Amino acid sequence: MKHTKSEALYKEAVKYIPGGVNSPVRSFNSVGISPIFAKKAHGSRITDVDDNEYIDYICSWGPLMLGHSNEEISKGIGEMIASGTSFGLATEIEVEMAKLIVDAYPAIDQVRMVNSGTEATMSALRVARGFTKRNKIVKFEGCYHGHSDGLLVKSGSGTITFGVQTSPGVPTDIVKNTLVCKYNDIEDIKRVFEEDGEDIAAIIVETIGGNMGIVPGKQEFIEFLRKICDEYKTVLIFDEVITGFRLSYNSSLEYFGVKPDMVCLGKIIGAGMPVGAYVGKKEIMEVVSPVGPVYQAGTLSGNPLAMYLGKRNLEILRDNPQIYEALNEKADKLEQGIKNNLKKLNLNYTVNRAGSLVCLFFKEGPVENYDDAIESNVEKYNAYFKEMLDRGVLIGPSQFEAMFLSYAHSDEDIEYTITCNYESLRAIHNL
Ligand code: PMP
């Protein structure tokens, strides 16, 4: 497979953009090759500038649950553009979108749109602090909640990949209010609450850890978070930037049967447009300006084009529950296929899965937290990534990311991927 044009573009890109990319995980630095530049994509397939085609399991890092360039979603977007791209005024579609989200989350009452997952988590924490009049927050090792200062502590995703878990540039005065616990470890949360419980404004958690590979939260862990938050009147925030509307239409609420006080949503509610939202119970959301004193704003928040595509995406998901069934079947097939390959090849690696999120860890299981995840053999993963890419299957260029399935992945795509998984594993182990 030739990457001549991508390589030339990369040479040009690094002159003008740090590392040649606008987000670190796109760089492929971690796997030691030049990044591919995308040209177009349709369904489950993405084509690079050299006209190589791949089955895509990045899917824009999650939001494209119905695949790339879905015509059902984008139908009518031309007329929307013709009628104006941004008004700086309230619009009807923002109300419709907010209602759609509230209807999907029986635990919450109000929605504030923002432009990214980072903004959603950053704002939700400010609101939780304003509401509780407390300073500290609890997050978990290996969970990534975007790149705002107070959350870039023992973080996941690119921060693990590039070894900058707590970034320079983040003042220690800020991170002193971020308490970090071990994921899936109830005793560790108890310890932190015994020490600081009266000053903890919020717990923020990925119910399925999606940024240290896939590490599902245990049922009793998620239930315990609810319990301790009730006890200390702490706000429980589910960061569902990856899991929202993906685990099921009612997201973690249905998956775990646990009600959060606030939820952070991101890319998935924009079907690939730059969108995020924080949502919560009325009494909490009423501290937000202009009703209350906590300031949070955004010129392009609730942008009509983003709302249009996001709303169509959610409506399709709401009206077609069979999509979730099909996604689970596809993921199940992929999971079983990879597990069978591992067995056939006598390799003791671990496959973690939650709904349509799948991850092959290059280590023996179980993988239940950050410490387990980082023991994976990253060199092997990187070699595996390259073998898969050469065979036309694009997975995340990092061990610490998920494979994202979409409804557009066909049975043939999955079967081909399983075959490539087998061949790639053989190749990197000389079997
Ligand atoms: N929270 C989670 C759980 C995420 O996975 C991400 C990014 N993948 C974010 C927050 C940040 O979202 P964004 O990149 O849109 O700022």
pLDDT tens across 40-66, in order? Answer: 999 999 999 999 999 999 999 999 999
Q: Give per-residue pLDDT as tens, 332-350.
A: 999 999 999 999 999 999 9
210 C-alpha to center of ligand 1: Å?
10
Residue 267 annotated to the active site: yes
pTM given for the model: 0.97
Identified catalytic residue from 56, 185, 239, 261: 239
In this structure, the residue with its CA closest to atom 3 of ligand 1 is: 241
pLDDT tens readout for residues 225-264: 999 999 999 999 999 999 999 999 999 888 999 999 999 9
Residues with CB under 6 A from ligand 1: 61, 116-118, 121, 144-146, 206, 210-211, 239, 241-242, 266-267, 276
Ligand 1 centroid to Cα of residue 204, in Å, is 13
Q: pLDDT tens, 250-309?
A: 998 889 999 999 999 999 999 999 999 999 999 999 999 999 999 999 999 999 999 999
Atom of ligand 1 nearest to the CA of 274: 15
Cα(429) to ligand 1 centroid in Å equals: 34
Class of the CATH domain delimited by 4-69+321-429: alpha beta
Catalytic-role residue among 267, 311, 330, 363? 267
Please confirm, yes or no, whether 185 is among the known catalytic residues. no
pLDDT of 160 > 80? The answer is no
- 57, 105, 144, 422: which is the annotated catalytic residue? 144
Give yes or no on whether 4-69+321-429 and 72-319 have one common fold.
no
Q: 72-319: which CATH topology?
A: Aspartate Aminotransferase; domain 2 (3.40.640)
Closest CA to 249 of 302, 319, 308: 319
- Going by pLDDT thresholds of 50, 70 and 90, the confidence category of residue 396 is very high
Catalytic residue flag (residue 413): no
121, 203 in Cβ contact below 8 A?
no
Give the span between the Cα atoms of 406 and 404, in whole angstroms. Answer: 7
* pLDDT class of 363 with cuts at 50, 70, 90: very high
> Residue 81, Cβ neighbours under 10 Å: how many?
12
CB-based contact 232:198 (threshold 8 Å): yes
Burial class for 47, CB neighbours closer than 10 Å (0-12, 13-18, 19+): middle
Kindly indicate the confidence band of residue 167, based on its pLDDT and cuts at 50, 70 and 90: confident
pLDDT at 107: 86
Model confidence at 159, pLDDT cuts 50, 70, 90, reads confident
In the chain, domain spans: 4-69+321-429, 72-319
